[in-house]
Amino acid sequence: MLRGLLTSLIVALAALALASADSPRKSTSWDLGGIPTEKTHVVDLTYAISGKIPAWPGDERAFETHVIATPEKDGYFARSFSMPEHYGTHMDAPSHFPPGKLTIDQIPAERLFGPAVVIDVRDEAAKNPDYRLMVTRVHKWEAQHGQIPFGAIVLLRTGWASRWPDQARYRNADASGVMHFPGFSVEAARLLVSRGAVALGIDTLSIDYGPSPDFEVHRVDLPAGLYNLENLANLDQLPEAGAFVIAAPIKLEGGSGGPTRVFAILPNQEKR
């Protein structure tokens, strides 16, 4: 059932991409899991990459571009670029924290697509920047929307995106340099792993809260085979349930992670 739905979603997306190439969305014979594609809405959960975006401490100024061809000299325009694997909107592959194994190119494509579970903790994070998602809050989501579906991509909406691209406010470091932003707790991560989630995502620098000394949530979910999505944009446009996410990472051989384009497909045209 889920697989059939996923397949029809992928087919519908391909059709959307083709249709949008030459004409604005015309009605097509494709449907998105039974929903006509003209009734869907795509949200880009990705920030544009530049040298000016908030970075993990030490990664500032690590993004570079160089023009390697110009229309004047070469007849066309091209650049090279270099950047850390964990910069901007990006994916952590399981191999980022051994004994997690898979490198970013090895994550099976079917795991890069799944139902979005959006847990909204904006109120909690506004009161306490060191807030960590508790198991009770996951249970509250399940009481409202049903059990977290197998294969879910679980997204924590903390409201931190409102601080982007102000690096100082996004990091929210204190005088001693310790950062303060919300994240998952180890207990909640264990529960989400047990539910069969394929990924944890967040609108901050890390799925671990800012003061974490040892990335304890990374050490739970990546060795269990999940991947992470960090620095996600536009989570405020998603419903708490009912959207689907596609995470399309760079297929970098041997990579511990990498820049990732992340899309959400909503089964209606209303912005949330």
Chain residues binding Zn ion by CB under 5 A are 86, 92, 230
Identify which of residues 221 and 230 has a Cβ nearer to Zn ion in the complex: 230
Shortest reach from residue 228's CB to Zn ion, in Å: 6
Which residue is closest to Zn ion by CB?
A: 86
Identify which of residues 13 and 192 has a Cβ nearer to Zn ion in the complex: 192
Identify which of residues 86 and 137 has a Cβ nearer to Zn ion in the complex: 86
Q: Are 8 and 31 in contact (CB under 8 A)?
A: yes
Cα(155)–Cα(238) distance, rounded to whole angstroms?
10
- DSSP type of residue 204: S
Shortest reach from residue 183's CB to Zn ion, in Å: 12
Shortest reach from residue 121's CB to Zn ion, in Å: 20
Degrees (nearest 5) of the Cα angle 227, 228, 230?
160
Shortest reach from residue 230's CB to Zn ion, in Å: 5
State both tokens at 131: 């807030």
Q: How many CB atoms lie within 10 A of CB 75?
A: 8
- As a whole number of angstroms, the longest Cα–Cα distance in the chain is 63
Cα(265)–Cα(272) distance, rounded to whole angstroms?
12
Shortest reach from residue 146's CB to Zn ion, in Å: 30
96 an active-site residue?
Answer: yes
Identify which of residues 87 and 244 has a Cβ nearer to Zn ion in the complex: 87
From the list 268, 162, 148, 125, the residue with the least C-alpha distance to 199 is 148
Identify which of residues 30 and 215 has a Cβ nearer to Zn ion in the complex: 215
Strands (E), the chain: 31-32, 35-36, 41-44, 64-69, 78-82, 90-92, 113-120, 132-133, 153-157, 183-184, 199-202, 227-230, 244-249, 257-266
Residue tagged active-site, from 96, 139, 145, 218: 96
Give me the count of residues in the chain: 272
Residue numbers annotated as active site:
96
